[in-house]
Chains A and B, each alone.
Chain A
Amino acid sequence: MSNIISLTSVTKRFPVGDGEFTALKNINLNVEKGEFSGLVGPSGSGKTTLLNIIGSLDKPTEGQAIVMGKDIAKLTHKESARLRNEHIGFIFQVYNLLPVYTVFENVEFALLLQDYTKAQRKKAVMEALDWVGLASMANKKPSKLSGGEGQRVSIARAIVKRPVILLADEPTANLDAENAHGILKIMKRLNQELDTTFLFSTHDEKVMSYLNRIIHLRDGQIEQDEQITAKSASS
């Protein structure tokens, strides 16, 4: 299988006061298409920073990050935006739904930036909402949804454009156990049926139980890269 994410000696430093804070140190990582993997580690270990670089929201200070064959450090703002829009989906811890839009419009948003007709958009949005079981709530505003429903809308918004990579930053951190399992089952199904590559950032045991690969991070470095057999991972 081919690597769709390839990180070589990636280091990320942030200016802090007069000095610098090193968030990632010499990260080498390859992710193949269709993986269901997670970056696991305590707070401050560099999980979100690594996801942001892979998602082309940030650039490495040193090293090379190749995503979908594109060198993240060399992309212009416009090229980064196109990469995110066409190939990468994001799921955030606090859902980041646009409050003035309905569920339908939130999911539709990513498609508005692409050349979809109105009919194509409607079909794709309703399919995505069907996937997450929220087709009946298409006209509701995010403020009327529960936490679990909000995160499901966030998943629908991420998958509606059928991205190759889906980056999920602590997707279950604000959910109770029942909702967290529901969400993870949806993601697992999407991974299996659409062959979408999932990369999580988490320290939630429930998430880890679903992963096929766990990359342990500590102090900005990969401590352990663990392949989980299909039998042991929840399905």
Chain B
Amino acid sequence: MKLALQLAYKNLIGAGLRTWLNAIVLSFAFVIIIFFNGLMDGWNQQAKTDTVAWEYGHGQLLHSAYDPFDPFTLQDAHGPIPSNTNLSPILIRSAAIYPEGRIVPVTLKGIDNSNKTLDLPTDILKQSAAENPVIIGKRMAKSNELKKGDNVILRWRDKNGTFDAQTITIAGIFDTEVVSADKGLVWIELDKLWAMTGMQNQATMLIANDQYQHKETAGWTFKTQEELLSTIQKMIDMKKSSSSIMYVLLMAIALLAIFDTQVLSIFRRQKEIGTYVALGMTRPQVVGLFTVEGAMYSLFALVLAALYGTPLLGYLAKTGYAIGEAQQDMGIPIASRIFPVYGIPLVLWTVFFIVIAATIVSYLPARRIAKMDPVAALKGKLQ
């Protein structure tokens, strides 16, 4: 093996530009695969962190009648708040606002104005001098052309299903990457919502803080943080697997270059192969030498990728990768800039995968050497 490595190294260095062209193509595969996987991991990490901070907390207790995917359950999905200081109650009601005369269905969420569990700026509600202050997200504000200080009519149903309406004031507009804490939502003080609906001490869901220890509570279903985040994980996994098509294409181009070089080498270097055999190398040794040569392309590519990839990927990890605005509304939290995360397992797996793939595509044409007639090879006859 040591001999094969020594000889392969000399042969590849001796081959000059041909070697470096293959190594450069393969190094692109290294860098791009690591970058995109790092980007996905960074997105995953950011999305989870943001969603925990803005929506999930350390788990949620959902009213047993509440189905987050069925708005019709909202009418009856509420119950008395269990006494636990580690839970922040949220009451959810369907409502509508009328910005400039248009009717816009919204979800009205009542939250304690001293909430510390979620990152929502509920202090604004406490500090506002308006009669009915609310806060909304930047997407909600943009889509309805609302700005801070605007007054808009809000219509809702009380506990008996009777419509009522009042003017609310946009006390603040917050910026979050978590679309589900923003789009179509109006956040109001919980006390105010209780008063408006006549649903004192009622909640639809309870957000747990990091001190919360779960005990079975009748009428409430507990969803752990992991369960809640599993949807994001699934979406990112799906996105990752769809991106793998790009990796396959990229790898196919790089590996095809190696395969092509190997096939060409075996035809062009028949005299050399014959000489190796005449000098006493066994055929498996020659097959091994050519296979190691092919595999060594991936090691050269690794060195090249490290040379230009390390500063490039490091720079992107520091400055982040800008995401288009349109992509930020796709339903999963996407920051305006994603900061790729390159874990050691990601780098090691990528290296392992590319080295193995390069070795296999090098071995396939090299097997032909084992069937070569050394006499014909010495004469350079095509076989």
Chain A residues within CB distance 8 Å of chain B: 52, 55, 57-58, 77-78, 81-82, 84-86, 90, 92, 94, 96, 98-101, 105, 109-110, 112-113, 157
Contacts and interface: CB of A to CB of B under 8 A. Distances in A.
Contact of A78 (B11, B15, B282, B375): B282
Interface residues of B, number: 23
Contacts of B378: 57, 92, 96
Contacts of A77: 282-283
Interface stretch (B29-37, B271-279, B297-305): B271-279
A52 B375 contact: yes
Contacts of A110: 279-280
Interface string B76-110: 00000000000000000000000000000000000
**Pairs A-B, 4 closest by C-beta atoms:** A100-B14, A85-B280, A81-B282, A96-B275
Interface in B1-28: 3, 6-7, 10-11, 13-15
9 contacts: A52-B375, A77-B283, A78-B282, A82-B280, A96-B271, A100-B14, A101-B10, A105-B10, A113-B281
A212 to B, nearest CB: 25
A101 B283 CA distance: 21
A55 B275 CA distance: 12
Contacts of A92: 275, 278, 378
Given A52-B375, A58-B375, A100-B15, A112 B6 contact: yes
Contacts of B285: 81, 113
Contact of A57 (B6, B10, B374): B374
Nearest to B275: A96
Contact of A112 (B3, B271, B274, B277): B3
Contacts of B271: 94, 96
Given A52-B375, A58-B375, A96 B274 contact: yes
Contacts of B13: 100
Nearest to A81: B282
B104 to A, nearest CB: 74
Contact of A113 (B3, B15, B374, B375): B3
A92 B279 CA distance: 12
A110 B378 CA distance: 17
Nearest to B374: A57
Interface of B: 3, 6-7, 10-11, 13-15, 271-272, 274-275, 277-283, 285, 374-375, 378
A81 B280 contact: yes
Given A85-B281, A110-B279, A113-B279, 7 more contacts: A77-B282, A81-B283, A85-B279, A92-B275, A96-B378, A98-B272, A101-B14
Contacts of A78: 282
B277 A81 contact: yes
A57 B280 contact: no
Contacts of B283: 77, 81
Contacts of A112: 3, 6-7
Contact of B280 (A52, A58, A86): A86
A84 B275 CA distance: 11
B367 to A, nearest CB: 15
Contact of A99 (B6, B14, B277, B282): B14
A157 B14 CA distance: 20
Contacts of A90: 278-279
A110 B375 CA distance: 18
A52 B379 CA distance: 12
Interface centre among A96, A99, A157 (most CB of B within 10 A): A96
B10 A100 contact: yes
A109 B15 contact: no
B278 A113 contact: no
A157 to B, nearest CB: 8
A82 B277 CA distance: 10
A100 B12 CA distance: 9
Contacts of B374: 57-58
Contacts of A105: 10
A5 B257 CA distance: 47
A48 to B, nearest CB: 8
A217 to B, nearest CB: 17
A98 B278 CA distance: 13
B107 to A, nearest CB: 72
A147 to B, nearest CB: 16
A54 to B, nearest CB: 12
